Amino acid sequence: MKVLALASILSTFAVEVLAMALPSTPFVCVNEEVLATYPIGKNKEVQARVLSCSDLPNVMGRSAGQKRQTNVCGNACTTNCFSPAGGGPNPNDCQVIADALLYDSQNIGALFNIFVGSPIYMQYASCETFFVNQASYNETYCRTDWSSIVSYVATNCQSQQNAHGGNCVASDQTWFIQVQTS
């Protein structure tokens, strides 16, 4: 079941990369405040932070939000690469983050929460990734899917694709994962 779900996610990516049409610009956390810092992975080599940013995109009008926690694990997202070519993260560095996420999935838990207004950031060497919640409600996501997306975007948004990193935006735009150079 898990394998099937992953296969369908990856094939969704493949189709959407071929069809890549959406314009995309990297998200930058303005007035960044670090709310928490912790290492992840077997050797604790990946740095993770919970951030607060003053410029969070909000697709739903936060004030209208209900108090609820929504599990968005497994939801499809569309990959956008950031052009032009050159200066992307080293996919091997991104793979260290992907592996650390898998390790934590097995050793800490499959799921994690992303509160409204607080993106989660991870970094190893040249690779950075963000999970940004754009909804008016708290979200729950799964470490295995973040891992797959980090690997996928890092590998498929490189110079050969006229890119330097990219993102994967949920179909309903309530979240996105960004992969970029630190």
Ligand X SMILES: *[C@@H]1O[C@H](CO)[C@@H](O)[C@H](O)[C@H]1NC(C)=O
Residues 39-58 binding ligand X (CB under 6 A) are: none
Tell me the two tokens of residue 39.
């290492």
Identify which of residues 26 and 65 has a Cβ nearer to ligand X in the complex. 65
> Residue 117 interacts with ligand X (CB under 6 A)?
no
Residue nearest to ligand X (CB): 138
Contact 168, 75 (CB under 8 A): no
- Is residue 137 close enough to count as binding ligand X by CB under 6 A? yes
At which residue do the structure tokens 């709310």 appear? 35
- Widest pairwise Cα distance in the chain: 44
d(CA 19, CA 3): 24
Residue 109 Cβ vs ligand X, minimum distance, rounded to whole Å: 16
Binder among 10, 12, 60, 115 for ligand X (CB under 6 A): 115
Cis peptide before 84 (omega within 30 of 0): yes
Say whether residue 138 binds ligand X (CB under 6 A).
yes
123-162: burial string, b at 16+ Cβ within 10 Å, e else: bbbbbbbbbbbbbbbbbebbbbbbbbbbbbbbebbbeebe
The nearest distance, CB 66 to ligand X, in angstroms, is 7
Q: Which two tokens stand for residue 149?
A: 């997306």
Least Å from the CB of residue 56 to ligand X: 13
Residues 136, 56 contacting (CB under 8 angstroms): no
Binding map of ligand X across residues 64-103, x = CB under 6 A, - = no contact: -x-x------------------------------------
Rg (CA), the chain: 15
Q: For residues 116 and 125, which CB has a smaller minimum distance to ligand X in the complex?
A: 116
The distance of closest approach from Cβ of residue 1 to ligand X in the complex, given in angstroms and rounded to an integer, is: 29
Per CB under 6 A, residues contacting ligand X are 65, 67, 115-116, 137-138
